[in-house]
């Protein structure tokens, strides 16, 4: 049972409650994460430890029936997301060891002709297309290392193309049921309401495809304007790069093609899960595919250091995975004491009289909230509130609200480097290069994009609320 703890001064007046202390720990943790004065993984886990310690001393958290606080906090971690990321990281590591990314880097450099803007368009479009069939985090894991290699070869800053890829993948992922983890969660809940056909793979493309395309073009236009000076830079060694043979970079063609085939089959299984109704989770598919790829590699050395498996594990972004786990605990703590539900309920209390304005409010509140916290746990908090409102008020159609949530959570995640899992992964990969992406640089690009895309979403909600997004 939750204990509302009050700290009192000498006069006996209440100063701070237990839930408020949890919120304070959360806010301080995010301030340090955004400040980048301490590595975000250290901050996330220190904040989680403080939450655990305070939870034991105060009893502020609601515990699962018969379980300890530790068990409850572990339940806040989205291990499905962690497993999916780990599986795709293994694929990326094997392909990098094969020389595949080096091959793609040389190929893309030659296709761009040394033009930095063409490079952004090529890589951004490729990432967006990938994000339509697999989640945007996986897309970033695959393409970001390639981008680093290209920029290193051309001796240009990797920040603009990496930022463009992350933002365009977040934007493109809005139109796909599997393109963004929040969409997967929304589709799963919609199926319990008998709306599985409306919120299926084709449903997302139909309902959000045109909006996403317009938003994608607007985003690319803003990037063209913002990076107008960078696009004028003259890459070094371009003549040499254009003469290179990309196949010379491949160290093991057989392993590369084998891994690519297994990766393709894994992606096919992602789609088949929906169409065939397979009783297997996406993260299990990813981990199974990664395991098969490791078996196919057949490493012959057994060295503890320097062997194939050691080189694979070295390339996995363990710090990013640990950061995600800590982030889930921090957000889960805030949700456990009721703050995320309070925010969601505030929306309905203030905007529930008009269903169109209610949907618009969901777009903007979801966008702002997703810029501050990862959009996955916020979506998890919003879905049950939307469902409960529709159940309490039969005249309220839940479908437009769920579509508005998908728009807001997807577009809002562009604003900050912690707004989506793809953003976090992009920043982590950028740290391998000479100039990591800073929070300030991300905000200059991502926040205006969030405003632009959410304005477009608002227009679509107002125009097509009862036509395109209604379940009736």
Q: Buried (b) or exposed (e) across 434-448, using 16+ Cβ within 10 A?
A: eebbebebbbebbeb
Residue with tokens 């062997």: 307
Q: Where in 388-451 does DSSP place strands (E)?
A: none
Section 427-438 average pLDDT: 87
Task: Report the SS3 class of residue 8.
Answer: strand
Task: Report the SS3 class of residue 33.
Answer: helix
Tokens of 454: 């959410």
Task: Report the SS3 class of residue 6.
Answer: strand
At residue 6, the pLDDT reads: 43
Q: 119 and 284 in contact (C-beta within 8 Å)?
A: no
14: phi then psi, degrees, rounded to nearest 5? -65, 130
Residue with tokens 């990098």: 96
Q: Buried (b) or exposed (e) across 316-337, using 16+ Cβ within 10 A?
A: bbeebbbbbbbbbbbbbbbbbb
- CA-CA distance, 395 to 273, in Å (whole number)? 34
pLDDT at 149 over 60: yes
pLDDT at 45 over 60: yes
pLDDT band at residue 10 under the 50/70/90 scheme: very low
Residue 388 CA from chain centroid, whole number: 26
Section 388-396 average pLDDT: 74
Could you tell me the pTM of the whole model? 0.74
**Residue 232, number of CB atoms within 10 A of its CB:** 9
């Amino acid at each position: 049972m939750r204990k509302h703890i009050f700290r009192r001064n000498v006069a006996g007046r209440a100063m701070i409650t237990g839930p408020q202390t949890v919120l304070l720990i959360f806010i301080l943790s995010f301030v340090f994460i955004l400040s980048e004065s301490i590595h975000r993984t250290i901050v996330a886990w220190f904040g989680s430890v403080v939450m655990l310690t305070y939870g034991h001393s105060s009893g502020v958290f609601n515990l699962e029936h018969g379980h300890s606080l530790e068990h409850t906090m572990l339940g806040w971690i989205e291990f499905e997301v962690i497993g999916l990321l780990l599986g795709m990281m293994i694929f990326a590591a094997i392909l990098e060891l094969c020389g595949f990314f080096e091959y793609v880097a040389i190929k893309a450099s030659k296709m761009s002709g040394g033009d930095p803007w063409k490079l952004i368009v090529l890589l951004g479009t490729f990432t967006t297309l990938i994000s339509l069939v697999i989640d945007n985090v996986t897309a970033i894991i695959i393409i970001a290392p390639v981008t680093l290699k290209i920029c290193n070869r051309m001796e240009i800053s990797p920040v603009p193309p990496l930022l463009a890829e992350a933002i365009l993948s977040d934007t493109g992922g809005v139109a796909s049921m599997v393109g963004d983890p929040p969409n997967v969660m929304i589709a799963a809940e919609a199926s319990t309401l008998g709306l599985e056909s409306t919120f299926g793979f084709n449903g997302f493309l139909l309902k959000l495809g045109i909006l996403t395309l317009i938003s994608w073009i607007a985003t690319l236009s803003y990037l063209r304007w913002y990076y107008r000076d960078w696009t004028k830079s003259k890459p070094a060694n371009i003549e040499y790069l254009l003469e290179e043979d990309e196949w010379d970079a491949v160290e093991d063609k057989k392993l590369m093609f084998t891994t690519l085939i297994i990766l393709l089959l894994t992606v096919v299984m992602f789609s088949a899960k929906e169409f065939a109704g397979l009783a297997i989770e996406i993260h299990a598919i990813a981990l199974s595919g990664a395991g098969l790829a490791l078996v196919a590699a057949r490493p012959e050395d057994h060295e503890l250091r320097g062997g194939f498996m050691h080189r694979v594990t070295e390339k996995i972004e363990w710090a990013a995975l640990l950061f995600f786990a800590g982030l889930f605990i921090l957000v889960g703590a805030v949700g456990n004491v009721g703050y995320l539900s309070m925010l969601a309920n505030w929306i309905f209390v203030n905007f529930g009289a008009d269903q169109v304005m209610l949907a618009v409010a969901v777009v903007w509140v979801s966008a702002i909230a997703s810029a501050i916290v990862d959009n996955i746990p916020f979506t998890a908090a919003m879905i049950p509130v939307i469902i409960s409102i529709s159940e309490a008020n039969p005249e309220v159609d839940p479908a437009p609200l769920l579509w508005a949530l998908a728009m807001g959570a997807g577009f809002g995640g562009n604003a900050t480097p912690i707004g989506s899992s793809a953003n976090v992964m992009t920043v982590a990969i950028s740290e391998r290069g000479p100039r990591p992406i800073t929070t300030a640089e991300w905000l200059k690009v991502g926040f205006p994009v969030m405003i632009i895309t959410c304005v477009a979403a608002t227009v679509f909600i107002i125009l097509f609320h009862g036509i395109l997004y209604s379940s009736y």
